[in-house]
Amino acid sequence: MRVKKQQSFPTIRLVIVAFCGLSVFLLILCFFQSGKLKSLETRIASLERHQAALEMELSAVTGVQRTMEVNLYYYNELLDRLMNGEVLCDTEAVIPVGRTIPNSQSPINDVIRLLIRGELTKAEEDLGFRTEFPGRELQFLGARLEDGVLYLKFSDPSGFTSGGSCRVNLLRAQIEKTALQFEMVESVVFEPEDIFQP
């Protein structure tokens, strides 16, 4: 009598189907988790804005102003000369100067506005810091943050932000480095596109 040979084919098929099903399940799970992460980031940002608003109300009631430490990045001519033996307009010589500002709901806007006022102290100037800010008629119109990209909008009817590459690259680096100090900012885009171009 002949015994029928058992096939292992259905077992292999079952393993493959189970593996594919598990893979699809894990992909779907990852997709939903990334959506939850974005949602969580949005919620955290909303809570931070709400906290800032409450802190402002509290400071108005109590008379105690909350502050935050920030950096304004300015070009240091002495450092440039020290690094390169001469002035090369090296953006590595754009370094931070500390400032204390009041807490606000829009610290990026506040810091960029403060930077382009170009208010260096005498001591900072003595240490080699230089800036061409404020620019005649240059106006900062605001910022918006989308997925880590910070869009900075300016108005420059007099052409202050154009000119030689040395000067323009330093002006641009001052703004970019100042904006990039904020954790949520990964890159900076200037609007309109032709602003801060040599």
d(Cα 107, Cα 182) in Å, to the nearest integer?
Answer: 9
Q: Which helix (H) or strand (E) holds 145?
A: strand 139-146
Give the span between the Cα atoms of 82 and 85, in whole angstroms: 6
Rounded CA-CA distance 158/187 in Å is: 27
Cα Rg for the chain, rounded, in angstroms? 27
Q: Residue 110: pLDDT band by 50, 70, 90 thresholds?
A: very high
Q: What is the pLDDT of residue 1?
A: 45
**How does pLDDT run across 117-148, given as a tens digit for each residue?**
999 999 999 999 999 998 888 999 999 999 99
Residue 59's pLDDT is what?
64
Domain coordinates of the chain in residue numbers? 12-65, 67-191
pTM of model > 0.85: no
171-181: per-residue pLDDT in tens?
Answer: 999 999 999 99
Alpha-carbon gap, residue 30 to 32, rounded angstroms? 5
Confidence bin at 17 (pLDDT 50/70/90): low
Identify the band that residue 49 occupies on the pLDDT scale cut at 50, 70 and 90: confident
